[in-house]
Amino acid sequence: MKNALSIDLEDWFCATNLGIDIKDWGTQELRIVDSTRKILRILNESNVKATFFVLGWFAEHMPEIVREIDRSGHEIATHGYSHKMLTDVSPKSFEEDLARALRVTSECIEQPIIGFRAPSFTITNKTLWVFDILEANGIKYDSSIFPVRFHPDYGIADALLEIHQRGAITEVPMSCVEVMGARIPCSGGAYFRLYPYSISRRLMRRCNAAGRPVVFYIHPWEMDPGQPRMKLPLLKAIRHYVNLDKTERRFAKLQGDFTFTSIKEILGL
C-alpha cells in the first residue's frame, strides 16, 4: 500500500513548545537548510516524493530552499505563514495569514498549492470554520485533524480515521490505530521519536492492514540534534528533544519498510 509522506517545513525555533514569537525568529540561528537537505538526500536515494507543508515565513525569507524542494519534484503545500495555532486566532486573521502564505510561497514555485496543514494540528471542534476559508482560497485538501482525545492542544476524539470529505475539502487525517478501544497515533513526529522503531513499524502495518494509508509527518529540526537547547518544562523537553540523534537513521530505515508518496498522489489530484 502507498502511504503519504509529509514534511512540515519549519525550523527549531518555530515549534509551539518553545514559545518563541515570530517577531524574534529573525534573531535565531537558522538551521533549516542542512536538516532539510538531509531529508531530500534520503528521499532521493529512496526514489520517494513527499508533500512539504511550507511555512510562509521561510518561503519569504529563504526562498532558495523552497525552490530546491520544488526542483526535486516534491509537492509544495502550505502550513500558513506565522505558525499561529488556529485556536488562538480569529477567522479574519487566519484568512489574512493564509493569503500571505499562499502569495509568498507561490512566488517561489510553478505548481499550484492545493493542500493545507494547520500549525500544531489545531483544526478542532472549535475551529471548523476554517474549511470555508480554505475552500475560498483554492485549497482542495486538508491534513490537520488528529482523531485523538488526549492531547491538550489538538484532536477531535470522534473524527473519522479514514480519508473523507468535509464539504468541498478532502480531509486527510493524521494516522491512528485502535488498540483495546484506544486510538494510538502512528503518524510520525514526536511519536516516531519516542516510540521504539519496532512499535512504530507495527502500528503502521496495522494501519495498512485496516485498509488505510499511513499519513506520516516529520520536521527538519527533528533530524538536528545540534540545535540550540532551551530550558523547558519536563514534558515539553521530552516531546521536543528526546531521540533527535536517532531520527535521521530511523527515517531512512522507514523508506525501506514502507512505500511512500505525496498526499497529492494518494488523492489522485
The closest of 82, 92, 74, 87 to 136, measured between CA atoms, is: 92
CB count, 10 Å around CB of 99? 15
Q: Which helix (H) or strand (E) holds 215?
A: strand 215-218
Domains annotated on the chain, with CATH? 2-267 (3.20.20.370)
* 212, amino acid identity: R
Q: How far is residue 22's CA from residue 122's CA, in Å, rounded to a whole number?
A: 18
Q: How far is residue 162's CA from residue 262's CA, in Å, rounded to a whole number?
A: 17
| pTM as predicted | 0.97
3-state secondary structure of 172: coil
pLDDT tens-place values along the chain, 269 residues long: 999 999 999 999 999 999 999 999 999 999 999 999 999 999 999 999 999 999 999 999 999 999 999 999 999 999 999 999 999 999 999 999 999 999 999 999 999 999 999 999 999 999 999 999 999 999 999 999 999 988 888 899 999 999 999 999 999 999 999 999 899 999 999 999 999 999 999 999 999 999 999 999 999 999 999 999 999 999 999 999 999 999 999 999 999 999 999 999 999 99
